[in-house]
Structure 1
Amino acid sequence: MERAHNILELIRQEPGKFRLIDLSKRLDLNKSSMFVLLHTLEELGWVSKDSNDAYSLGHVLGVLGHAFVGQFDLEARFREEAGKSRDMLGETLQLAKLEGDQVLYLAKVEAPSRVKLVSEPGMRFPAHATALGKALLAWQPREGLEDVLGERLEELTPNTVKSRAVLIAQLEAIRSSGFATEEQESVMGFCCVAAPILDSGGAAVAAVSASIPLHKWEESAERAKEEIVSLAERLSTALHPVD
């Protein structure tokens, strides 16, 4: 990995200048080893070769760089838009993304309350036990779900879904409805509604949720569902604005 990093750093500094022999000399690496490394990087789309056999950075690095910057733009846009939804609902809203079988919390807009949620930006929770996680899992390819979920579903509360078959059925319903809910599956005393943020290709890159105390759930659930779906749609549009 260090060798690949050094190659990319040289190409970044002077794109379109170095050929295989140049990189081999600059990095003191024999030509056969350099050939293998460059071939792999080219196959991955990390570098590209022009008609003079000189190398530049590849399109995949551009995509990754755009995604890196975009995640911070999304967090900023979330705080702006979620503030309006928080004021409308009077509840705390969160933004998260999927990492394996976990949700990683990215940002939080809190409503004034004596009761605070245990989840904070930077924390991870099992995806199957949260509305955020279910909203994200529902947009994952079906064939890869079993690998993502593993053999056993961790039980956080007595209400946490324990069966993978039941969870898969829930995810299909979530995909149809456009939102996910959970009632005291991650934390007792709280219910949540979440919806996915979709990129231009229809992939779920993140999700937003509203957390509602159990005693307010029955009266607030429908309005929360509508607002969270609307918030997710506004954030999705921000990722691929319509001309």
Structure 2
Amino acid sequence: MARLIITTTRGKLKVIRSLEDYKDEKNQSIKVISRATDILRVLGQSTTGLSLGQIALRVSLPRSTVQRIVAALEFEGFISIEAGNAGIRLGPEVQSLAQARSSAIRDRLRPLMQQISEATGETVDLAILEGNRMRFIDQVVGSQRLRTVSSIGESFPLTTTANGKATLAALNQTEATKLIIAEFEEYPDTIRDLSGLLTEIETIRAGTLARDNDEHTEGISALGFAIKEPGVEVHAISVPVPTSRFVCKEAELEAALIELRDGFAG
């Protein structure tokens, strides 16, 4: 005789006729969670909103299945369906979770930033990837009288900054290339070498520090590296220095950053 199994879902009792039925339902629940995760991951990897058809193609699921999961995720606030052609994007609940995680990482990186500043005497910036730009979220001001200081909350491009290049190197090649091309198209009057930049990104990806040699702001150069952890946006630490001093102590700065970076990662 089959046993009755009673489960609860959101406070409601549900009777399942047999253990086999219970296992089947459990497997279905796991499958739905896995599919929902795939959809969230695809949205997180896209710099623009996606349509149902685009999502279905990328996760290899029927459009009707994607539509049901998307509706449930929207109800819970994990995705937002924008008006017009803006498409489907990650929602406020995902952003809230990411911000909480990012805050924890910021607190964990603060001692490393202080160590770098003490070792070099320079200002140390922490930035996070937001869309297609870097936004400064923390800073340790250096002890040098002539120093560079940016405002917390200020945003900067990816392809002309040390933290931006480091972040591009931390992304997969497809996503990095997409962001680079989008930035080039945003500033069509700026003459840039796409091939040279892609080669530079590959060099950074291999382990060298990212560099800004008077590229973003004349008179300011910088070195930087990225911190990439599962479930959060890429963070990048950079050390901006007046170029007049940078050219004299570049090797010293590089050695200090690599030692502290590798020690933190290890």
The answer, yes or no, to whether TM exceeds 0.5 is yes
RMSD: 3.7
In structure 1, distance between residues paired with 2:236 and 2:113: 12
Match 2:203 to one of 165, 169, 173 = 173
The answer on 1:39 being equivalent to 2:33 is no
Query: Any stretches of 5+ residues in structure 1 without a counterpart?
Result: 1-13, 20-34, 48-59, 238-243
Match 1:198 to one of 228, 231, 237 = 228
Aligned partner of residue 112 in structure 1, secondary structure: coil
Aligned partner of residue 186 in structure 1, secondary structure: coil
Q: 1:233 to 1:42 in 2, by over 3 A?
A: farther
In structure 2, distance between residues paired with 1:166 and 1:63: 36
In structure 1, distance between residues paired with 2:245 and 2:175: 36
Match 1:227 to one of 237, 247, 256 = 256
Q: How many residues align?
A: 192
Query: Any stretches of 5+ residues in structure 2 without a counterpart?
Result: 1-7, 14-64, 78-90
Partner residue, 2:26: none
Post-superposition shift, 1:65? 5.8
Aligned-residue sequence identity (percent) comes to 22
Partner residue, 1:26: none
In structure 1, distance between residues paired with 2:9 and 2:261: 39
Partner residue, 2:108: 77
Give the TM-score normalised by the residue count of structure 2.
0.60
Post-superposition shift, 1:190? 1.4
Post-superposition shift, 1:109? 0.6
In structure 2, distance between residues paired with 1:143 and 1:153: 18
The answer on 1:109 being equivalent to 2:140 is yes
Which one-letter code corresponds to 1:85 in the other structure? I
Which one-letter code corresponds to 2:237 in the other structure? V
Q: 1:161 to 1:82 in 2, by over 3 A?
A: farther
Aligned partner of residue 159 in structure 2, secondary structure: helix
Say whether the 8 Å CA contact 2:122–2:147 is kept in structure 1: no
Residues 16-55 of structure 1: per-residue CA shift (max 9 Å, x gap):
2269xxxxxxxxxxxxxxx9986325579x69xxxxxxxx
Post-superposition shift, 1:205? 1.8
In structure 2, distance between residues paired with 1:155 and 1:232: 35
Partner residue, 2:185: 152
Say whether the 8 Å CA contact 2:141–2:149 is kept in structure 1: no
Match 1:16 to one of 10, 30, 42 = 10
Equivalences for 1:209-220 in 2 at 5 Å? 209-220=238-249
Partner residue, 2:161: 130
Query: Which segment drifts farther, 84-93 or 107-116?
Result: 107-116
Aligned partner of residue 177 in structure 1, secondary structure: coil
Say whether the 8 Å CA contact 1:196–1:204 is kept in structure 2: no
In structure 2, distance between residues paired with 1:161 and 1:181: 18
